[in-house]
């Protein structure tokens, strides 16, 4: 039987602000436990929240990037529940009137056409603290400790619409997640470092037999922090829900957890056990009124988004689409490329070298482009040397390796290692004399009109010059010499 599916995401993005959402405490990863806390973020009696303005700006930026309408009046609400990592017994979040609503994110749909995944809302909320158990396994732990460093760190929740263009396949789901992460990074409001938990997802999926009208109940899988696990979980869920439907039963609406080791989802709580969060407007915080000026100012400072950058790199720099996609996948990469291109004389060659060579070094060394030891202007200079014929591709590769390990510029390395090409024609003529003498058969073959051995002779010259001769020039000289 064929099935159709609906996939929706609630994505939590930790915002890259200096201080927390409602207090002055710094946002710090890997700080010693409870070293970045205060009365506000630990829920001390009498403490009051004060909204971090930067986070509002970030929420609006995200909204604009995701084509949302920005509410001129927003408010915070309390989501009430008990948990030891939640110091106030409620989370300050948003319910009615979030900062942004009704947007979309364009991806490539399964049919190859652009598909605008509906974004229902974007709201700000505070993160909870973190529980640290005395044993790796929760069941075996004697006690748990609470670290409130993360408490009240700003989170942006981006919710897709299950009615307006939801994702219809795993491929679309993956495309959405990647595009979302890419977009957020471009906007510059979060690194989205998944290993640091800066991007986490709750995943909703429901299926129906093709041709049937209604979708089945949805399962929600909570708190996923890896795209690969999300795909695994979705795959498992599709299989599980199909089996239920095929056995004539109904899928239950429930919240499930993903077991990373077994790659299966397990029930966490049913719809009936779903907590009543008793949302109500937080009386400690005023409504947030955003005026046109504020929104216009943000609009004016919006960075180029992935699609715009992609179009620019294709049209302005004449880079093939696939390469341009690779170069824009990450904002830092595109910025690197654009920085290098300013002084570079061969855009395509630069793009090839970055994609084929520089990426390999970065990968091998597990270094991000932001920390790349080769400066963009040095990369451009290296390409320019090749273009001018001052460096052969082969030598250039050696130079790049050296640049990567030493952080030095290409000219310095060429000088140090004596890699400067042989520019003296008489020297090459002398070497050609030698080569001609050593290979009389090849020479007579060429003179007889068969140009095949030219490459062989060229190789001999390159060998004798340790690659420092310019093959183009040598070829020209051979042409003159052998009259071919």
Integer Cα distance of 334 and 329 in angstroms: 8
What is the β-pairing status of strands 199-209 and 3-14?
antiparallel
Cβ closest to other proteins, residue 46 vs residue 449:
46
Q: By CB under 8 A, tell whether 39 contacts other proteins.
A: yes
Burial-class residue 141 by CB neighbours within 10 Å (0-12, 13-18, 19+).
middle
Binding of other proteins at residue 303 (CB under 8 A)?
no
By CB under 8 A, residue 200 contacts other proteins: no
How far apart are CB 96 and other proteins at their closest, in Å?
A: 11
Among 259, 260, 284, 307, binds other proteins (CB under 8 A): 284
211 binds other proteins (CB under 8 A): no
**Is residue 150 part of the contact set for other proteins (CB under 8 A)?**
no
Distance of CA 384 to the CA centre of its chain: 30
- Nearest distance from C-beta of residue 93 to other proteins, angstroms: 13
Q: How far apart are CA 333 and CA 65, in angstroms?
A: 19
Nearest residue to 380 via CA among 349, 416, 404, 418: 349
Stretch that binds other proteins, among 42-50, 243-251, 294-302, 313-321 (CB under 8 A): 42-50
Q: Quick one: which H or E segment has residue 297?
A: helix 292-300
Q: Is 283 in the site for other proteins (CB under 8 A)?
A: yes
Contact pick of 3, 10, 33, 51 for other proteins (by CB under 8 A): 51
- CB nearer to other proteins: pick between 80 and 169: 80
Contact flag: residue 42 with other proteins (CB under 8 A)? yes
Question: According to CB under 8 A, which one of 8, 71, 87, 230 is a site residue for other proteins?
Answer: 87
CB of 176 to other proteins, least distance (A): 31
Q: What are phi and psi of 372, to 5 degrees?
A: -60, 125
The residues in 464-483 that bind other proteins, with binding defined as CB under 8 A, are none
E strand intervals along 56-110: 69-70, 73-74, 77-80, 90-93, 100-108
With binding defined as CB under 8 A, does residue 268 bind other proteins? no
- Residue number with CB closer to other proteins (93 or 185): 93
For residues 130 and 85, the answer to whether their CB atoms sit within 8 Å is: yes
> Would you count residue 291 as binding other proteins (CB under 8 A)?
no
For residues 79-114, one letter each, b for 16 or more C-beta atoms within 10 angstroms of the residue's C-beta and e for the rest, the string is bbeeeebbbbebbbbbbebbbbbebbbbbebeeeee
Q: Closer CB to other proteins, residue 288 or residue 341?
A: 288
Is the CB of residue 270 less than 8 Å from the CB of residue 256? no
DSSP H helices, 366-470, are 376-388, 393-406, 410-416, 425-438, 440-447, 453-464
What x-and-dash track marks residues 402-421 binding other proteins by CB under 8 A? --------------------
Q: How far is the CB of 78 from other proteins (least distance, A)?
A: 5
Task: Please state the φ and ψ torsions of residue 348, each to the nearest 5 degrees.
Answer: -65, -45
Regarding 50 and contact with other proteins (CB under 8 A), the answer is yes
Closest CA to 308 of 187, 159, 167, 175: 187
Instruction: Considering the complex, state which of residue 40 and residue 153 has its C-beta at the smaller distance from other proteins.
Output: 40
Span 65-84, contacts to other proteins by CB under 8 A? 78, 80, 82, 84
Distance CA 331, CA 182 (A): 7
Q: 50 or 370: whose CB is closer to other proteins?
A: 50
Q: Report the nearest approach of other proteins to the CB of residue 35 (Å).
A: 15
The residue ranges that bind other proteins (CB under 8 A) are 39, 42-51, 78, 80, 82, 84, 87-90, 146, 276, 278-280, 283-286
């Amino acid at each position: 039987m064929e099935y159709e599916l609906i996939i929706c995401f609630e994505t939590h993005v930790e915002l890259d602000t200096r201080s927390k959402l409602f207090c002055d405490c710094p946002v710090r990863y890997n700080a010693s436990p409870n070293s970045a806390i205060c009365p506000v973020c630990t829920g001390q009696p009498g403490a009051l929240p004060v909204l971090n303005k930067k986070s509002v700006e970030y929420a609006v930026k995200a909204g604009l990037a995701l084509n949302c309408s920005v509410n001129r009046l927003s408010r915070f609400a309390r989501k009430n529940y008990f948990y030891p990592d939640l110091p106030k017994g409620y989370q300050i979040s948003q319910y009615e009137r979030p900062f942004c609503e009704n947007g979309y994110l364009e991806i490539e749909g399964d049919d190859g056409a652009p598909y605008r995944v509906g974004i229902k809302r974007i709201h700000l909320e505070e993160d909870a603290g973190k529980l640290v158990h005395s044993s790796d396994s929760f069941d075996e732990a004697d006690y748990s400790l609470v670290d409130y460093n993360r408490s009240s760190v700003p989170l942006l929740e981006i919710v897709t619409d299950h009615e307006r263009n939801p994702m219809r396949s795993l491929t679309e789901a993956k495309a959405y997640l990647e595009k979302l992460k890419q977009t957020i990074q471009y906007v510059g409001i979060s690194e989205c470092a998944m290993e640091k938990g800066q991007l986490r997802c709750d995943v909703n999926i429901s299926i129906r037999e093709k041709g049937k009208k209604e979708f089945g109940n949805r399962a929600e899988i909570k708190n996923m922090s890896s795209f690969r696990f999300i795909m695994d979980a979705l795959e498992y869920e599709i299989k599980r829900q199909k089996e239920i439907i095929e056995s004539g039963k109904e899928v239950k609406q429930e919240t499930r957890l993903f077991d990373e080791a077994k790659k299966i989802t397990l029930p966490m709580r049913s719809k009936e056990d779903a907590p009543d969060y008793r949302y109500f407007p937080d009386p400690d915080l005023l409504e947030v009124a955003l005026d046109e000026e504020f929104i216009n100012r943000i609009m004016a400072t919006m960075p180029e988004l992935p699609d715009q950058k992609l179009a620019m790199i294709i049209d302005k720099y004449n880079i093939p689409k696939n390469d341009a996609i690779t170069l824009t996948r990450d904002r830092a990469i595109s910025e690197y490329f654009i920085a290098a291109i300013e002084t570079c004389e061969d855009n395509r060659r630069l793009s090839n070298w970055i994609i084929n060579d520089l990426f390999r070094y970065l990968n091998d060394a597990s270094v991000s482009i932001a920390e790349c030891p080769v400066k963009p202007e040095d990369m451009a200079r290296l390409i320019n040397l090749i273009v001018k014929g001052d460096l052969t591709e082969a030598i250039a590769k050696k130079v790049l390796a050296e640049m990567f390990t030493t952080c030095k510029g290409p000219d310095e390395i060429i000088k140090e290692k004596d890699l400067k090409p042989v520019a003296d024609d008489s020297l090459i003529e002398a070497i050609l004399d030698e080569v001609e003498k050593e290979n009389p058969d090849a020479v007579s073959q060429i003179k007889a009109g068969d140009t095949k051995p030219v490459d062989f002779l060229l190789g001999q010259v390159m060998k004798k010059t340790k690659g420092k001769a310019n093959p183009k020039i040598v070829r020209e000289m051979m042409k003159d010499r052998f009259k071919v």
